Amino acid sequence: MRATLGGALRSATGAAPALATLLALALPAPAQDTERGRTSAVAIAAELSSQGAQSKLVLTLSKAVEARAFVMERPDRVVIDLPEVNFQLDGETGRRRDGVVQSFRYGLFAPGRSRIVIDLAAPAIVGRIETATRPRDGAVLMTIPLKQVEREAFRKAAASSDPSPAQPHVAVSEPADSRPLIVIDAGHGGTDPGAIASTGVFEKDIVFGFAQDLAGKLSAGGHYRVQMTRDRDVFVPLLERVRIARDAKADLFISIHADSISSAPQVRGATIYTGSEKATDAESAKLAERENRADAAAGAEASEAPPDIADILQELTLRETRGFSSGFARSLMGQLGPVMEMSAKPHREARFVVLRSPDVPSVLVELGYLSSKRDLEMLQNPEWRAGVTGSMAKAVDQFFATRTSIGRQGAGARRSAAIAPVSP
């Protein structure tokens, strides 16, 4: 059986044009490797085929690249690490099952590095990855062979794998600037698409556009410094997002997401989450568990929560921080209620990894449901987004106005505003 995914463009006569012409038509501009000043490879097609216990994925690239493969268990995955590749593939690419391949994802994994994550329908290992130049147009075909194996053989292969950690993201701070620092976290990214709407729209793209607009709105007033955990479609591990905010000594952390419940398309509305060891309800606990698996979905080791609080001073700092987080959540509810649909329980608590910072007030905002046709329309509406980001900016103003000092405060510094009771 053969399934062609993201097939190469063809001319009216049916003959494939020269690769340079194809790329000029398909791409607005070639991707640049800024560190080395070279053009990144472009992937223009992916073909998945299978025969018996053998499957193979063939990528059509603008030039040859080196590939490194390894396997991971629970869930079963094959991970292909590549130098940075500009993936220009059909929207349905990777969403069809064929042989041992359940589906696959691709994207930027870290600066200068891309990754393909293949979800396996059965245990399989990777054979020798080969590349060959296609004579008629100079395209490079990279063949990734997969062979089904017994569970024990796969387990041994996974145990001997050596996944390379993502390159750390260095937080840039401006110590001379006393304005409060707000870190905006666009959920998911790169090889982790997040929720996927029935139309094929990715959560990572919707929330990134929203986060950019929110960052622009907050920066425009000149009262705050704003930093984003990712400034493009790149994978950032969950604990790295927390580390970015803490290292920069942020005064507020806002994580942006958009949920999906395919079994309940009638469910819609925004929800604001704050961190807690005990979830408000079973639905919140399941959502946090799902979001906390984002690293594994991207082919990385799953994040673990930061170590338990060691002493009474740290515990008090955490409780104080969660009090400020809850206060900001209430400000958000007050500002967002008049301009957007809110869920039945607009403020909930759960054990999200990205909300585990003990010294940075943090909230996670689920803007709506990609499974709701109405919510999806709103999330893609520029006017709606402008109104919601404007209201969120007002909530930020209100949050800092209640503080006795709007000036820059270091992590763990004393704050004299009243602390709301929160869950332990």
- Distance between CA 163 and CA 300 in Å, rounded? 7
Does position 187 have pLDDT exceeding 50, yes or no? yes
> Same domain for 150 and 238?
no
Full domain range(s) for residue 49:
2-160
> Same domain for 233 and 287?
yes
* In a domain? residue 176: no
pLDDT 10s digits, 23-56: 444 444 445 544 445 678 999 999 999 998 899 9
Helix (H) or strand (E) holding 243: helix 238-247
Give pLDDT, residue 40.
Answer: 85
> Same domain for 92 and 218?
no
Number of folded domains in the chain? 2
> Same domain for 247 and 107?
no
- Domain end residue (candidates: 129, 160, 191): 160
- Distance between CA 289 and CA 224 in Å, rounded? 32
Write the CATH number for 290.
Answer: 3.40.630.40
Does position 351 have pLDDT exceeding 50, yes or no? yes
Give pLDDT, residue 317.
Answer: 75
* Residue 159 CB-density burial (10 A; 0-12 exposed, 13-18 middle, 19+ buried): exposed
> Same domain for 103 and 152?
yes
- The first and second tokens of residue 151, run together, are 């569970």
Residues 6 or more apart from 236 whose CB is under 8 A from it?
166, 169, 189, 190, 229, 230, 244
- Say what the pTM is: 0.70
* pLDDT (mean) for 377-394: 96
DSSP lists the bridge partners of residue 4 as 47
* In a domain? residue 407: no
In which region does residue 200 sit, left (phi positive, over 0), alpha (psi from -120 to 50) or beta (all else)? Answer: left
State the pLDDT confidence band at 274, using cuts at 50, 70 and 90: very high
pLDDT 10s digits, 206-240: 999 999 999 999 999 899 999 999 999 999 999 99
> Same domain for 156 and 186?
no
Residues 6 or more apart from 153 whose CB is under 8 A from it?
123, 125
Write the CATH number for 132.
Answer: 2.60.40.3500
Give pLDDT, residue 304.
Answer: 52
* In a domain? residue 323: yes
Give pLDDT, residue 314.
Answer: 62
Residue-averaged pLDDT of the chain: 82
- The first and second tokens of residue 20, run together, are 């340079």
DSSP lists the bridge partners of residue 372 as none
Give pLDDT, residue 301.
Answer: 64
